[in-house]
Amino acid sequence: MTVQMAVVPVAGRGTRLLPLAKSQPKEMLPVGRKPVVQYVVEELARCGVSRLLFVTGPGKTAIENHFDIDAELIAHLRETGKEELLEELAFERADIEYFYTRQRRQLGLGHAVLCAKAVVGREPFVVALGDSMIGLHAQSRVVRVMIDQFEETGADAVVALEEVPLEDVVRYGIAVPRDGAAEVFELADLIEKPAMGEVPSTLAVAARYVFSPRIFDCLARTAPGKNGEIQLTDAIRMLIQQGRKVLGVRLSAEQRRFDIGNFQSYFEAFVDFALADPQCGRALREHLREWLAATEEAPPCS
């Protein structure tokens, strides 16, 4: 039986996006026409996921509401002759069963995944971060490739990896390839935020994972690290140290990761998605071109 379950952690506080994310979940922020988490769910549905568990936390009920079927709104659109807008709600009817559990204390991504254990049980599962999209308008099918690799190779973990500029490696979990880094390769280690002098590669862990349930045993034994948080990277390292197979799958250029965790990357994601919008993209491009030309001589922020 193929992997059908995905865990989407959305319980983080999003402090890097204050005040924007103070009273609304960062995963519900708009990027172009949709909230981020809707792109994540649509991507997973296209990759064959049929059961989806959100790990939620305080102030995140807007996410649950967003994926409910809103019968009142549907009736209103029909009664007011706006049938053409019903298509915008088609995602409500995706062939996915939703489950929700709570992370009662925000003790890091690893802890959020561990909170999924009782619901996931002993089956393999995908983890997709709720604040990161893969590919423009989330068109990526890399999770399908990762599931196929997981099933064909008997690995205990498959991790998506993105090429990052050398000066940025200090911000990420970085892969150490066992025998060179092909499209798909085995990891000898993962180093969290390596120092500049000891960079093993420029391939950073990129928001999508497939795990066997063995990851839960590793997470349960992982000691809290910086800020008292349980790091998912540490648990993956433990799998490698136990001699388990952990694979990396490189994202291609079209499968670029858009993470909205800080303002710089959020603004960039919004602009990229809006510029690629089929209806408004062309006009926006023109507007930006004119605006940039006009402000080149007198920058508005100076």
Residues that bind ligand UTP (CB under 6 A): 9-16, 27, 55, 103, 106-109, 111-112, 129-131, 261
CB of 144 to ligand UTP, least distance (A): 21
CA dist., res. 269 & res. 263, Å (int)? 10
Measured from each CB, the residue nearest to ligand UTP is 12
Least distance in angstroms from the C-beta of 57 to ligand UTP: 6
CB of 283 to ligand UTP, least distance (A): 32
Triad 279, 257, 104: Cα angle to 5°: 105
The residue (of 14 and 124) whose beta carbon lies closer to ligand UTP is 14
- Name the residue nearer to ligand UTP (CB basis): 3 or 21: 21
Q: How far apart are CA 36 and CA 46, in angstroms?
A: 16
Sort strands 257-259 and 132-134 into parallel, antiparallel or unpaired: antiparallel
Please name the helix (run of DSSP H) or strand (run of DSSP E) that holds residue 130, with its range, or none.
none
3-state secondary structure of 48: coil
Q: In this complex, which beta carbon is closest to ligand UTP, that of residue 103 or of residue 255?
A: 103
Contact 60, 103 (CB under 8 A): no
The minimum distance between CB 281 and ligand UTP, in angstroms, equals: 27
Question: What residues have CB less than 8 Å from 222, skipping those under 6 apart?
Answer: 110, 230, 231, 234, 235, 238
**Which one, 124 or 261, has the nearer CB to ligand UTP?**
261
CB of 75 to ligand UTP, least distance (A): 33
Helix axes 36-46, 142-153, angle to 10 degrees: 50
| CB 8, min distance to ligand UTP, A | 8
Query: Toward ligand UTP, which CB reaches closer, 130 or 185?
Result: 130
**Residue 188 CB partners (closer than 8 Å, separation 6+):** 176, 177, 178, 240
Burial tier of 164 (Cβ tally within 10 Å: 0-12, 13-18, 19+): middle
Calpha distance 227→109 (Å, rounded)? 12
Nearer to ligand UTP, 129 or 147 (CB): 129
> Considering the complex, what minimum distance in angstroms separates the CB of residue 205 from ligand UTP?
11
CA nearest neighbour of 27 among 57, 60, 5, 70: 60
Residue 80 C-beta: closest distance to ligand UTP, Å = 36
Task: Specify the residue, 232 or 251, whose C-beta has the smaller distance to ligand UTP.
Answer: 232
> Between 59 and 281, whose beta carbon lies closer to ligand UTP?
59
Q: CA 160, 142, 162: angle at the middle one, nearest 5?
A: 35
